[in-house]
Amino acid sequence: MEIIVTLLIGAVAGWLGAQIFKGHGLGLLGNIVVGILGSIVGYWVLGKLGVSFGAGWIGAILTGALGAIIILAIINLIFRSAK
């Protein structure tokens, strides 16, 4: 059950990050991967700053979305500079 919740939160966080960043769409699987990795990055960045978006689903989604935006920005910089 926890893996399903992780995938759902990752998908929502990745989709939200993609909507805010306005980058290229990565599809459902891409959103899940970016959202899950974004959660790791988001928790690390917010931990370094001493900030928390709170506990629960909403906090996890917002943290994942923040991390997803960071990851999407880095991906955009790498692939834009490669052209």
Q: What is the pLDDT of residues 28-77, one digit of tens each?
A: 788 888 888 888 998 899 999 999 888 888 888 888 889 888 988 888 88
Size of the chain, expressed as the number of residues it contains: 83
Domain ranges within the chain, ordered by starting residue: 2-81
Q: The pTM is what?
A: 0.82
**Which residues 6+ apart lie within 8 Å of 12 measured at CB?**
35, 61, 64
How high is the pLDDT of residue 35? Answer: 86
Tracing tokens 């999407």 back to the chain, one arrives at: 72
**Distance between CA 61 and CA 83 in Å, rounded?**
32
